[in-house]
Amino acid sequence: MAELRFTRSLYDEGAVRRAVEAFGALAKLELSEHPHELVVLVRDPHPRYAAVLEDELANYALTATVQTRAKGAA
């Protein structure tokens, strides 16, 4: 089991939720909310993607955060 922590001051909550949805078919993902962060527990990743799943999920959340904030700034 792995635990990914997304600091609320850096990551958009909706972006993290979209990342969890996007990767949900590749592992058992559990999102929990805390005052200063969002935590994603990753369990039983698909063997083919286990080595990269956590990094790719985090990259997805970061990219989605940047896109969301860029739209808000426009």
Q: Where are the domains of the chain?
A: 1-42
Distance CA 50, CA 6 (A): 20
pTM flag (> 0.85): yes
Please state, in angstroms and as integers, the Cα–Cα distance from residue 20 to each residue in 72, 73, 74, following that order.
22, 25, 26
Report whether pLDDT(39) > 70: yes
Report whether pLDDT(22) > 80: yes
